[in-house]
Structure 1
Amino acid sequence: MSRRSLLVRLGCAAALMILLALALGGLGLTLIFDRQMQHRAVAELDIHAKTLAAQVHVAADGTLSLEAQPVDPRFGQPYSGLYWQISGPGGRSLRSRSLWDTAIPVEPDPPGTPRHSTWVDGPQQTLLLSVERTVLLEEPDPGVAVHIAVALDSADLQAERRSFLSLLVPSLLALGLLLAIAMACFIHLALRPFRALRTDLRAIHAGQRRQLSREVPDEVQPVVDDLNRLIAFQDAAVERARTQAGDLAHGLKTPLAVMGAMAREARAQGQEKLALDIDEQVRAMGRHVDRALARARAGMAATLGRHACDVAPVAKKTVRALKTLPDAAALLWQVDIPDTLRFAGDEGDLMELFGNLLDNARKWASAQVRLHAAASGRFVKIVVEDDGPGMSEEEAAHIERGRRWDESRPGTGFGLAIARDLVEAYRGAIGFDRSPELGGLRITLTLPGKPPDAD
């Protein structure tokens, strides 16, 4: 698909925005979870610290003791990840069994300092989240300060974080899929007017209508209006061209008829040379008029929105007409054209093309004329071959405006020039070379085609 496609551009932009939104959302949710998880852990550790503060007792000799052990069993398991430590006067301390033979590095604060949390090194090279507070006891002597620290291994927090991510990532992927489906539906709806416009244009190309529908959004309406004006202008120009071509043909018929009568009168008076000169000029003018009319008709038919026609029936009809000529009955005519092949143009122009090309082949063929055609992508490829003498590349170059190939036979080369004009009017191509099988001239045409269901 082309990078200039609006669908590709919108799809890529939507995909990038969805990926960016999911990435930022995932990052934000992870940061929020980490912060809330740490706040919750600090709150739980502070509860343990308050419980320890209520249970701690300092004897007269400064010995520390607890009236009751904390209920959490992790405090009794060595290196379980949850620890407590109480530091009293005289360097005495009391630790949870989970610390075993290690201690939490603390820096006691002055009494009355609010509790605070910090990260400290723990046993077995672990990182601990520690909550510490300094409290004053009333017994045995008022004002005795003890420092309480409760810590949690960061591995526990990381385990919760991994559990959260294991749920977050699939959730974000599912959300991304839903957003992609929603964006695809949105783009589909947004581009619907352009698909409708393309359908209308195809209908115009097929000759089924001559105007685009105005039932479009306001953003597309100016384009539709301009296209409708362009189509109307083209139709008017084609009609003017048709009228002018008809006027030209009718306007020249009378002078040509008068000149023909003058030639007959001169011949009757014995002025044979003058009559021949007049006849030659009349024929030349007639050929030029025919060529101009053919080009005008081709230009009209090749414009936007003309019907297509089947190639095989036109070819067979032309061959049947040529077979009625005396010198064509003895020739072997081979026609190989699929019934589904269609030409995107006027049937009359196609018949004139076949007539000129097959008539030229008839004049030069010794025993055989071959016509075959096939689809080539969006085009129709037509090949006409004969077993005559053919022509060289230099002779083929002579078939141009106003020049004939050979004056020895009537009309030779002029029909090919008209055929070339018709092909060029349809933006096709024509080529001349020697037939590898028959040995005579091979003419290859490339014309616009249409699929069988185009109309």
Structure 2
Amino acid sequence: MKIGSLKVRLILLAVGSISIALMATTFVLNTLFYTFFEERIFTELDQYLIQLTANLEFDGDIDLSVAPLSNPQFDLPFSGLYWQVIEKGETVASSRSLWGNTYSLPPASFPGERFRFESKSSQGVPLIILGWSILLGEIETQRVLSLSIAVNASEVVDATSEFRSSFIKWLSLMFFGLILAAWVQVRIGLAPLESLRQKVEKVRSGEVQRLSGPFPQEVLPLANEVDELLDLHDRSLAKSRERASDLAHGLKTPLTVMLTIAHDLRKENVIKQADEIETQVESMRYYIERELARVRTRADALRHTDVSPVIDKMVSAIRRFPRHTPLLWEVTVQEDLSAPFDEHDLSEILGNILDNARKWAQSVVRITSESLPDGFASIVIEDDGRGVPDDVIDTIINRGERLDAMVQGSGLGLAICSDLAESYGANLTIDKSSLGGLRVTISWNSN
């Protein structure tokens, strides 16, 4: 696919949009999960904080003790869950899980007001801390204690990382699924344009004359405009064809008169002037016939013709022409071969070539065809005549050149045959045949 194609643009736009959306989703969900999990941790720490406060035992004098909390992790060294009681900046009690270590706290807050804090243990382990200050004892002996519960910050970080890793895996699968869905959507969405392209191709190849068939509402105006353009084109070609035909018919009478004058001059032994007039008349006839053929070609350029019936018809007709010796016609043409020619023009081209082969062949004329999978096809006509020198072959299809100057005949001539073939996008080439005479090849690409 080319970067300039609409399909590529839409797919790239979908890839970009989906990527941005999924990255934003990853960021938002990761933030939400972190916040949710952190709040859950603080809720759990708050329960432990209340339990710690309730488990404080004070005899009213100096001794302070804490009853064991419900979670056994507080008794396991470096378990990741800790508690600590501070009075006047000194640790007066702590969980066994701290194993003699401590962690710092912010300045004492108002009694009963919870504080959240991130700190590090004396070993440098990041901690998330929840605590409060309480007043303990009578007014005369009242003590201010800071109670806190701490958990390793890695609990939140690791859980968030694990969630993000798992979520990214699913998002990756979702990404490819969405890209596939976008590709299918683009394919389905642009299918009418592909259908329109195929219909235009069929019009160009002559299979259909107009863009028939249902189209979506968005594509239908374009199809209608193309059909109207084709109608206008056909009308313009028809008018051009009529004007060219009228001009040709209008010139035929003066040309006939000029040939009559040349004939009279020849009788009067004015040979040079008669030859010059005949040459100019033949040249004018050539141009007239060529332009008429081109106009007809442009009018019928979208048609296809089955080759085999045309060849059979032309061979059957030419066989009736008189010859001094019998002539063998070897015809091997594919039955399903078609050519992008109007039937009349194809008959003119083949008729002229076959007639030339008939005139110069000694005993055989061979007609074959070839059709390749890539769309290239050809018709080859060969004879076993005496042929022509190599330096003459290239001039055969030049304007006004004739191989049969001493043989009477009719037709458009090889030059006009070549022009006609080129008008239909085909090529006419002439070279030596393995039979000894000439080989004329008409080739085209059906695609």
Query: Shorter-chain TM-score: what band?
Result: 0.7 to 0.9
> Which secondary structure state, in structure 1, belongs to the residue aligned with residue 394 of structure 2?
helix
CA contact (8 A) 2:211 2:223 kept: no
**Residues in 2 aligned to 1:412 and 1:101: alpha-carbon distance in whole angstroms:** 121
**Residue number in structure 2 paired with 1:343:** 339
2:444 equivalent to 1:447: yes
Counterpart of 2:20, as a letter, is: L
**Residues in 2 aligned to 1:78 and 1:129: alpha-carbon distance in whole angstroms:** 18
The Cα of 1:347 is off from its aligned counterpart by: 1.6
Q: Classify 1:133/1:236 alpha carbon distance in 2 versus 1 (closer, same or farther; 3 Å).
A: same
2:364 equivalent to 1:381: no
> Which secondary structure state, in structure 2, belongs to the residue aligned with residue 191 of structure 1?
helix
Pick aligned residue for 2:313 from 317, 324, 334: 317
Counterpart of 2:146, as a letter, is: H
**Residues in 1 aligned to 2:89 and 2:423: alpha-carbon distance in whole angstroms:** 111
**Residue number in structure 2 paired with 1:98:** 97
2:127 equivalent to 1:131: no
The Cα of 1:45 is off from its aligned counterpart by: 1.6
2:421 equivalent to 1:426: no
Uncovered stretches (5+) of structure 2, i.e. residues with no partner: none
**Residues in 2 aligned to 1:117 and 1:390: alpha-carbon distance in whole angstroms:** 107
* More moved, 203-212 vs 72-81: 203-212
**Residues in 2 aligned to 1:141 and 1:432: alpha-carbon distance in whole angstroms:** 128
CA contact (8 A) 1:341 1:375 kept: yes
CA contact (8 A) 1:406 1:412 kept: no
> Which secondary structure state, in structure 2, belongs to the residue aligned with residue 130 of structure 1?
strand
**Residue number in structure 1 paired with 2:108:** 109
The equivalences for 1:46-57 within 5 A come to 46-57=46-57
**Residues in 1 aligned to 2:331 and 2:154: alpha-carbon distance in whole angstroms:** 86
CA contact (8 A) 2:387 2:436 kept: yes
The Cα of 1:100 is off from its aligned counterpart by: 2.4
The Cα of 1:425 is off from its aligned counterpart by: 0.9
CA contact (8 A) 2:109 2:132 kept: no
Counterpart of 2:320, as a letter, is: T
Residue deviations 1:209-256 (CA, integer Å, cap 9, x gap): 4366796535762x4454233212211112113322432444345445
Identity value in percent: 32
**Residue number in structure 2 paired with 1:35:** 35
Residue deviations 1:326-381 (CA, integer Å, cap 9, x gap): 44974444433332322123122222222233333444444444333333424433
The Cα of 1:422 is off from its aligned counterpart by: 0.6
CA contact (8 A) 1:399 1:414 kept: no
Q: Classify 1:87/1:298 alpha carbon distance in 2 versus 1 (closer, same or farther; 3 Å).
A: same
**Residue number in structure 1 paired with 2:355:** 359
**Residues in 2 aligned to 1:182 and 1:175: alpha-carbon distance in whole angstroms:** 10
Counterpart of 1:382, as a letter, is: I
The equivalences for 1:67-78 within 5 A come to 68-78=67-77
Q: Classify 1:237/1:59 alpha carbon distance in 2 versus 1 (closer, same or farther; 3 Å).
A: same
Uncovered stretches (5+) of structure 1, i.e. residues with no partner: 451-455
Q: TM-score, normalised by structure 2?
A: 0.82
**Residues in 2 aligned to 1:328 and 1:173: alpha-carbon distance in whole angstroms:** 85
Q: Classify 1:210/1:414 alpha carbon distance in 2 versus 1 (closer, same or farther; 3 Å).
A: closer
The Cα of 1:264 is off from its aligned counterpart by: 7.7
